[in-house]
Structure 1
Amino acid sequence: MRTSNFLLAFTLLATGADATTIEMKVNGLVCSFCAQGIEKTLRKNPATQDVLVSLENRLVAIVTKDGTDIADADLRKALTDAGYDVKAIERTQRSMDELRSRLKQSQ
């Protein structure tokens, strides 16, 4: 019984151990003040490891801490309550470095 509990716990930890990047297409981003406000709001969530806001690409990306997640509904509510329109939410395995590099190339 103990062995099976240990294996179950290990399996659950192993499947949720990688950080996830949540990429959102957001309309209504018009200034650096918008970006700062969104970043500050999202960093308050204990699951947030890093945040990236690109005004030019209407992109808000969050990297969650290992083994954590933030529900789409919570993200949508936080941004909608702040006055923004969330068009899409996608979970990826892209790192923030990859995203920053891709955004630099598109400019």
Structure 2
Amino acid sequence: MRTLLILATAGLFVASAQAAPTTRITVNGMVCAFCAQGIEKKLTAMPQTRAVYVDLGEKIVAVEAREGQTIDVDKVRAEIKDAGYDVVKVESVEQSVEELRAAAAKAKKK
């Protein structure tokens, strides 16, 4: 029983260590692919960024941190505002950028 508890605890630790934190930002003012490219380029250049996803239709920007790092939310907010857009909401989500991208693609097919 003790071994089972240790294995279960270790499994949870490994799973949580592998999940990279993703910051999801709702943005107003993005209306074209050029807007999305500009934001994506700026955020991808940040050293702690693993991946970026911009969805014009849903007005979201998702930034996933590299393993062992965190996203500087204030810097992301500043980059978006400097590009001329309004940050409406910032939240941390469990999904990776790839999972968010896949969910958006699936929703668009419906």
Matched, 1:66 2:67: yes
Aligned AA (1:38): I
Equivalent residue, structure 1, for 2:46: 45
Q: How many residues are treated as equivalent by the alignment?
A: 94
Give structure 1 regions of 4+ aligned residues with deviation exceeding 3 angstroms: 14-18
TM-score by length of structure 1 reads 0.79
Q: Which structure shows the bigger proportion of residues in helix conformation?
A: 2
User: Which secondary structure state, in structure 2, belongs to the residue aligned with residue 83 of structure 1?
Assistant: coil
| Aligned pairs (5 A) from 1:1-107 | 18-107=19-108
TM-score by length of structure 2 reads 0.77
RMSD (CA atoms): 1.7
Which blocks of at least 5 consecutive residues in structure 2 are unaligned?
A: 1-13
Q: Is the 8 A contact 1:24 1:59 kept in 2?
A: yes
Q: CA deviation at 1:16?
A: 6.6
Output the CA distance in 1 between the equivalents of 2:45 and 2:101. 22
Deviation digits for residues 21-73 of structure 1 (CA, Å, limit 9, x no counterpart): 11100011100000110010001100001110000000100111011112221
Aligned AA (1:74): K
The percent of aligned pairs where both chains have the same amino acid is: 39
Output the CA distance in 2 between the equivalents of 1:103 and 1:18. 20
Q: Is the 8 A contact 2:64 2:71 kept in 1?
A: no
User: Which secondary structure state, in structure 2, belongs to the residue aligned with residue 66 of structure 1?
Assistant: coil
